[in-house]
Amino acid sequence: MKRVVAVFSAALLAATLSIALQRATAQPNSQAAAGDLRPAADFAGIADRSARALALIQEAGKVLQHPRCVNCHPASDSPRQTDQRRMHQPLVVRGADGHGAPTLACNTCHGPANFDPAHVPGHPEWHLAPLAMAWEGRSLGQICEQIKDRARNGDRDMAALLHHLGEDTLVGWAWSPGSGRTPAPGTQARFGEIMRAWADAGAACPAS
């Protein structure tokens, strides 16, 4: 029991130090700073379906390759933090199921909602994307092919994928990331609209 308390206390101390660092380097939390997404209707005039799909996925790439998404889709066993994608402090690891190590699970520090006074993000299902869904260091074309591949997207068909991207509340956290973090461009609803239009146009992916 004493060992568990000691581990917990050390984790909280490390988290406090990490929060202080994040406050010092925090990015403005404003929609203007994040940019915006064009509505899917803006691309309706592209007659060629493949060209329209490519234009749509390029627009969606503003979200897919944004730090709010890539930080939780790392290629390593640790998440990233801030717009500079720094290694998570305190050091944490993926664990067997993406929810952290048994002695330092994600929910040790991350609650069911953002805790802005301490700059700690939160959600009831806070965890890392599986390693098979790693986006870090990958091109938009590679991410695009990956999210269509049921072997690498959680066995989701296109309908399930579109629901996940456009309606899942953990994905939606990217647009309400709390104090000190730049939100993903646009809104989740608009992002979902773009992805549905991309799918309807044939779901083509960039070559690179």
Which 3 state secondary structure label does DSSP give 87? strand
Query: Range with the lowest mean pLDDT among 3-17, 55-69, 97-111?
Result: 3-17
pLDDT of residue 148: 96
Here the tokens at position 21 are 């660092």
Burial of 78 (0-12, 13-18, 19+ CB in 10 A): middle
Q: What is the pLDDT of residues 111-162, one digit of tens each?
A: 999 999 999 999 999 999 999 999 999 999 999 999 999 999 999 999 999 9
Q: What is the pLDDT of residues 73-83, one digit of tens each?
A: 999 999 999 99
DSSP 8-class letter at 96? S
pLDDT of residue 19: 41
Q: What is the pTM of this model?
A: 0.82
